Homo-oligomer: A and B are copies of this chain.
Amino acid sequence: MTKFYGEFSKVWLSVDCIIFGFDEGKLKILIGRRKMDPGRGEWSLYGGFVASDESVDDAATRTLYDLTGLRNLYMRQVGAFGNVDRDPGERVVSVAYYALINVKDYDDELRREHGVEWIDINEIPQLYSDHNEMVNKARKMMQQKLANEPVGFRLLPSLFTLTQLQKLYEAVNGEELDKRNFRKRIKEMDFIEKTELIDKTSSKRGAHLYRFNKRVYNEDPTFKL
């Protein structure tokens, strides 16, 4: 097994997940109290180790599924974090990933079983090891991504109001947007379809529900927001 590179040393490889959700008008991530040593009890991202028979991406997918029970999540690599002493116990290099989920899709029972909570991205406490760094980089990458591709729908129910969508963009970018300018831009995007359905949960008058049409998007790749 060591025929080629035996002279070099090996490391443990883990994955850590920054799971973004949008709830109560706020951008949040899932964190919990670490259940293993070292660092037991500290706030931490959810993670896992890479097994010998799976790719690093697959390990992240598996870890996400393990935590959320959800498949086909939008997921992107944040990068490798490899300081020598980043793990107080051993040499562990970790590859961080961020994922976008619709909070409503995540069974709250399952969430509690794993002991993770949705925490406002602006109120993240000190986390285990270098996890704050991972969160910061993930957040920047996600912002950048959202500015160039319509990935925000991954954080919303399949039917959503324009107000919800606007609040989402505001939460991600950390700044308020002009309602009329926002709606003007949305109207130009053919892949955001207005339905005849009305949502009455957040206003007496009711707001039209919209949906993202992936097919139209793929045919007409001219997105900028």
A interface residues, tally (CB under 8 Å): 37
Is A132's beta carbon under 8 Å from chain B? no
User: Is A3 an interface residue, CB under 8 A from the partner?
Assistant: yes
Query: Once bound together, how far apart are the Cα atoms of A140 and B134, in whole Å?
Result: 21
Residue in B4, B36, B82, B83 whose CB lies within 8 Å of A38: B4
Q: Which parts of A111-165 form the interface with B (CB within 8 Å)?
A: none
The A33-68 residues at the B interface (CB cut-off 8 A) are 36-38, 49-57, 59
- Measured CB to CB, the closest approach of chain B to A118, in angstroms, equals 27
Q: State the oligomeric state as a number of copies.
A: 2
Sample of 20 more A-B contacts, CB < 8 Å, known A56-B82, A77-B79: A4-B36, A4-B38, A5-B12, A5-B49, A8-B12, A10-B10, A10-B11, A10-B12, A11-B11, A11-B50, A50-B82, A52-B91, A54-B84, A55-B84, A56-B81, A57-B82, A57-B83, A79-B80, A80-B95, A82-B95
**Which 10 residue pairs of A and B lie closest in terms of their CB atoms, listed nearest first?**
A56-B82, A10-B10, A4-B89, A8-B49, A9-B52, A80-B80, A80-B95, A55-B83, A5-B12, A11-B13
Residues on A lying within 8 angstroms of B by beta carbon are 1-5, 8-13, 36-38, 49-57, 59, 77, 79-84, 89-93, 95
